[in-house]
A = this chain, B = another copy of it.
Amino acid sequence: MRKSTTVTAAVLVIGDEILSGRTKDRNLGYIAEYLAKIGVDVREARVVPDIEDEIIAATNALRERYDYVVTTGGIGPTHDDITADSIGRAFGVPVGEDPRAIAIMLERYAPSDLTPARRRMARIPEGADLIENPISRAPGFRIGNVFVLAGVPAVMQAMLDYAVKSMKTGAVMLVETIAAGSLPEGLYGEALGAIASAHPDVAIGSYPSFKDGRFSNQIVVRGKDEEAVAAARRAVETMVAELSKDESAR
């Protein structure tokens, strides 16, 4: 059955370490690609520091605007892990030690090893559902349309597998990539713009990369209608073939 709905999401990356450049974020790209494949379109991303007011403001701005928000980072056992409390405040609900989370953590830790720091990871906003963490057990959570995941990529990825089970999904974005090789963007830009105008149901992008002193280009056609995407792809392929012939004859 073909789905025609669009489901949107935003990603909120939380952590000083990303904004200082110490840690290079790998979560946004992973989440964007993962959600695209299941029919959830990531429309915006933000990175904020470990400051409660910043997390609250970004969470509220994004959750009002998109179907889902996925956050990463700040749910560990140390003092700088303030995401759960911030999200609780964003929703205006109390945050306390969740017996379900404690029970899960006791599967990993002996009671005497459940330090105050570790108990911090059981702080969950009231009304939230837990998100399983098969790697280190301390759970993430979902409250309203916000999914709160860990920052460590391996843990985030495992949580995301679980989180998406409760997301509604829309039509999957179809993507066709046409290699333009060393044909310069400056030679096809005008013709490609005309193709984009003639195919309003798809989005067409042109992406150069630069390696060993040379540019090479890829043209990407994206859309949710199979025929529209195929038609635009054919038009782009024809254009690239014709201009490449002209270019090699120069």
Interface residues on A, range: 35 or more
A residues lining the B interface (CB < 8 Å): 13, 15-26, 28-36, 41-50, 54, 76-80, 109, 113, 115-118, 120-121, 135-136, 152-155, 173, 175, 185-190, 192-193, 196-197, 203-210, 215, 220, 222
Nearest-Cβ distance from residue A23 to partner chain B, whole angstroms: 7
* A222 near B77: Cβ-Cβ < 8 Å: no
Beta-carbon contact of B32 and A20 below 8 Å: yes
Q: Chain B residues with Cβ under 8 A from A16's Cβ? A: 203, 205, 222
Closest to A51 in B: B43
Chain copies in the assembled complex: 2
Q: For the complex, give the distance between the alpha carbons of A145 and B36 in Å.
A: 34
For the complex formed, measure the closest distance between the CB of A22 and the CB atoms of chain B, giving whole angstroms: 7
Establish whether residues B20 and A175, one from each chain, have CB atoms under 8 Å apart when the complex forms.
yes
- Contacting pair B76 A208 (CB below 8 A): yes
For A189, give its contact among B41, B79, B190 (CB under 8 Å).
B79
Q: A21-B29, A80-B206, A118-B189 are in contact. List 8 more A-B contacts (CB 8 A).
A: A16-B203, A16-B222, A17-B207, A20-B175, A21-B32, A28-B47, A76-B185, A118-B186
